[in-house]
Structure 1
Amino acid sequence: MLRSCARGPQDALRCALPAALPAVCDRLRECAARIPEAREVLTILEKCTKQQCKGDFPIVVFEGLDATGKTTVTQAVKDALDAVLLRSPPACISQWRTIFDDEPTPIRRAFYAAGNYILASEIAKASTQAPVIVDRYWHSTAAYTIATEINGNVQNLPPVQDGVYQWPEDLLKPDLVLLLTVSPEERARRLEHRGLDKTKEEAEMEANSLFRQRIEESYRRMMNPACQEVDANPSKEEVLKTVLQLIKKHCAL
């Protein structure tokens, strides 16, 4: 049974957001008897390098809500830079995503946090060969957890500089994080055009604009590294040009 560790909103948030790999593993072990896939995730985690060493090539992460253009942009950047493209959660555990999405927030977030550590091992290896482009990483795990656990408007979020926005010390850090943003109207248009089934969180964002605002503001408060915001409303060609300029400015290629 999952241990209770929350007394108020801030306690619930810290309970739901594992701060380091040992906490992630503890959370998965607590539910492994009931969820066999949690044992599988732990087995994969144990095979990953505990201390990931970054290679000589840059690591660029793309974050943002669904339908902000991450898939299109990351593929275009991969082609332009002859880079390796990786996604979170990594392919080796993504088949269990629907199982954990139906679990309570602490278990669901432990799964995605575990995916970040597994992904970090893949990123470290790939960065010795070529630039690495990553479609979502730790910032997504944190932003969605914060927005889920804190209710109401953005004023209720933990204050700027709070530790919940701080990158975990034991997780491989990217060189650059780009946050793609579009207007609510454009995002709704793209979602309708895609015609895909919505996740629970996506449905919540459509029904509750405050939830979306909390996610976006949480992204903006992330630290070490912070997210650099990119307006993804223009054409994909214009967005790609902007993104490549930022990568050239901030990364050694």
Structure 2
Amino acid sequence: GVRGCGAVPAVGSSKAERPAGGCEGPHLSLQCAARIPEAGALLDLLEKCPEHQKKGGFPVVVFEGLDATGKTTVTQSVKDTLNGILLSSPPACISQWRTIFDDEPAPIKRAFYAAGNYILASEIAKASTQAPVIIDRYWHSTAAYTIATEINGKVQDLPPANDKVYQWPEDLLKPDLVLLLTVDPEERVQRLHRRGLEKTKEEAELEANSLFRQRVEESYRRMVNPACQEVDASPSKEEVLKTVLQLIKKHCAL
């Protein structure tokens, strides 16, 4: 089956235990591959990834957060400062299919992102033997957006804080540090408008639906093993970079 492919990812401790959500491996491969050729190619890539990836000797730092919280700027600056390797989720080798899967029903779309995390893990394993690895989104994004989509209503309606949905999957390479960039909602919307970019469906949803945004951010905050360390990304780029580098220095062997 496809690793980490449940409706709400990370429920259960192994790929066998995770809920199907209409999207376990056979479902993805047989039904989707017949209709979406890219699903077959994705599964081929996934099959080539060894299970239980081992991290190299260099630190692995993930940046999470909603769009327009400054992830792109910060990750690039940290990569340059540390002479690191910058990776992102979904990984480059499958990102050209993103628009195809984004138009699919939720379980198939989530399967794409979940599978992407396992493909990314093999890239992290290799890169972390060479240099510090900086990652623009990883498992926590997949989980937080899925939980917020699957559960309607207010933050109170989310699964309780100690629920298994907030656990990192046992068979997925873990980072050393996860930093969650946050800015207040008004500032974030202003940044999005300044960018003038076409919004993704999820971005439009976030803007239209502050409850959804709150569910995503609260889901991020409830993630454990590893938990997200929150960083206020409202100050200047220089200040945010300084804070981030101090956290990396404190938590990682550099």
How many positions carry a matched residue from both structures? 241
Q: CA deviation at 1:17?
A: 2.9
Partner-residue secondary structure (3-state), 2:202? helix
Q: CA deviation at 1:14?
A: 5.6
- Alignment of 1:141 onto 2:133: no
Corresponding residue for 1:251?
252
Q: Distance in 1 between matches of 2:8 and 2:172?
A: 18
Q: CA deviation at 1:51?
A: 2.5
Corresponding residue for 1:107?
108
Cα contact 2:61–2:176 (8 A) shared by 1? yes
Structure 1 residues 135-165: Cα deviation after superposition (integer angstroms, max 9, x where no partner): 0000000000000011111000000010000
Structure 2 counterpart of 1:31, one-letter code? C
1:24-39 matches, cutoff 5 A: 25-29=25-29, 30-39=31-40
Q: Distance in 2 between matches of 1:142 and 1:26?
A: 21
Q: 1:127 to 1:106 in 2, by over 3 A?
A: same
Q: Distance in 1 between matches of 2:152 and 2:236?
A: 34
1:10-21 matches, cutoff 5 A: 15-17=7-9, 19=11, 21=15
Structure 1 residues 46-75: Cα deviation after superposition (integer angstroms, max 9, x where no partner): 111223111000000000000000000000
Partner-residue secondary structure (3-state), 2:7? helix
1:9-158 matches, cutoff 5 A: 15-17=7-9, 19=11, 21=15, 25-29=25-29, 30-158=31-159
Structure 2: gaps (5+ residues)? 19-23
Q: 1:243 to 1:198 in 2, by over 3 A?
A: same
Structure 2 counterpart of 1:37, one-letter code? E
Corresponding residue for 2:238?
237
Q: Distance in 1 between matches of 2:7 and 2:64?
A: 23
Q: CA deviation at 1:37?
A: 0.7
Q: Distance in 2 between matches of 1:124 and 1:186?
A: 36
Structure 2-normalised TM-score?
0.92
Q: CA RMSD in A?
A: 1.5
Partner-residue secondary structure (3-state), 2:34? coil
- Alignment of 1:199 onto 2:200: yes
Corresponding residue for 2:218?
217
Structure 1-normalised TM-score?
0.92
Cα contact 1:18–1:110 (8 A) shared by 2? no
Using the aligned pairs only, state the percent identity: 78
Corresponding residue for 1:3?
none
Partner-residue secondary structure (3-state), 2:66? coil
Cα contact 1:73–1:240 (8 A) shared by 2? yes
Cα contact 2:10–2:168 (8 A) shared by 1? no
Q: Distance in 1 between matches of 2:62 and 2:191?
A: 22
Structure 1 counterpart of 2:75, one-letter code? T
Structure 1: gaps (5+ residues)? 1-12
Q: Distance in 2 between matches of 1:131 and 1:26?
A: 36
Q: Distance in 2 between matches of 1:58 and 1:89?
A: 20
Deviation >4 Å, runs of 4+: 18-24
Structure 1 counterpart of 2:74, one-letter code? V
Corresponding residue for 2:187?
186
